[in-house]
């Protein structure tokens, strides 16, 4: 579980790029960005002990 969370925390920021490139033109894009950011934080917290 921690391995999956760790690698998710590594990969998720790449999903920000299309959202940032498109810009925050609508509330759904802002919501998607905030959701991805929250998911990234959760994944980083869970996966921070991977290979510890």
List of E strands, 1-52? none
3-state secondary structure of 11: helix
Q: Is the pLDDT of residue 13 over 90?
A: yes
For position 51, what pLDDT does the model report? 82
pLDDT at 6 over 90: yes
- Whole-angstrom distance, CA of residue 10 vs CA of residue 18: 16
**In whole angstroms, what is the distance from residue 25 CA to residue 10 CA?**
26
38-48 pLDDT, tens digit each:
999 999 999 99
Q: Kindly tell me if the per-residue pLDDT of 52 is higher than 90.
A: no
This prediction's pTM: 0.85
Residue 27 tokens, joined: 């509330």
Nearest-CA neighbor of 5 among 52, 48, 38?
Answer: 48
């Amino acid at each position: 579980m921690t391995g999956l969370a760790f690698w998710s925390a590594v990969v998720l920021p790449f999903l920000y790029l299309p959202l940032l490139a498109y810009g925050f033109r609508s509330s759904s894009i802002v919501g998607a960005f905030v959701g991805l950011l929250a998911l990234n934080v959760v994944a980083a917290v869970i996966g921070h002990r991977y290979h510890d």
